[in-house]
């Protein structure tokens, strides 16, 4: 509970993911979260405003094989690329595909 005149947090939105979220990053629009979950080969682009979700397959071949988990990610300074660090000692650079 938020105290009168005090600072705190107010729940804006929540979502249950398919498995444990491992990496989370805001896009430069300040509204979109990119979430990567363990044992899942998709980036989940979540619009924190209206709650919509877009899934983007991380596999180059478009299959559903899970060969790595993204443990950390960072957005490029221009907001056009997302660098992912995996549990397989790999860095993978993705082009941001979310279009608002």
Give the DSSP per-residue string, 77-98.
Answer: TTSSEEEEEETTS-EEEEE---
CB 94 within 8 A of CB 82: yes
Residue 84 in domain: yes
pLDDT for the residue numbered 34? 96
Residue range of the domain that includes 36: 21-95
Cβ atoms of 27 and 48 within 8 Å: the answer is: no
Residue 9 resides in a domain: no
Angle at alpha carbon of residue 12, lines to 17 and 24, rounded to 5°: 40
pLDDT at 3: 57
SS3 content of the chain, % helix, strand, coil (to 5): 0, 40, 60
Q: Say how many domains are in the chain.
A: 1
Q: How many percent of the chain have pLDDT more than 70?
A: 92
Rounded alpha-carbon distances, angstroms, from residue 85 to 8, 16, 68: 32, 23, 10
pTM: 0.86
4 or 96: which leads in pLDDT: 96
**Which pLDDT score is estimated for 97?**
83
Task: Name residue 75's beta-bridge partners.
Answer: 82
Identify which has the larger pLDDT, 2 or 53.
53
- 15 in any annotated domain: no
In a domain? residue 51: yes
**Residue 2 forms part of a structural domain:** no
């Amino acid at each position: 509970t938020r105290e009168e005149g005090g600072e705190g947090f107010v729940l804006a939105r929540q979502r249950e993911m398919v498995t444990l979220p491992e990496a989370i990053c805001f896009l430069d629009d300040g509204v979109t979260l990119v979430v990567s979950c363990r044992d899942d080969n998709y980036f989940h682009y979540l619009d924190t405003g209206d709650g919509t979700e877009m899934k983007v397959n991380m596999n180059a071949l478009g299959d559903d094989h899970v060969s790595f988990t993204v443990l950390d990610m960072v957005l490029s300074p221009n907001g056009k690329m997302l660098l992912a660090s995996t549990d397989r000692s790999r860095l993978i650079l993705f082009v941001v595909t979310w279009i608002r």
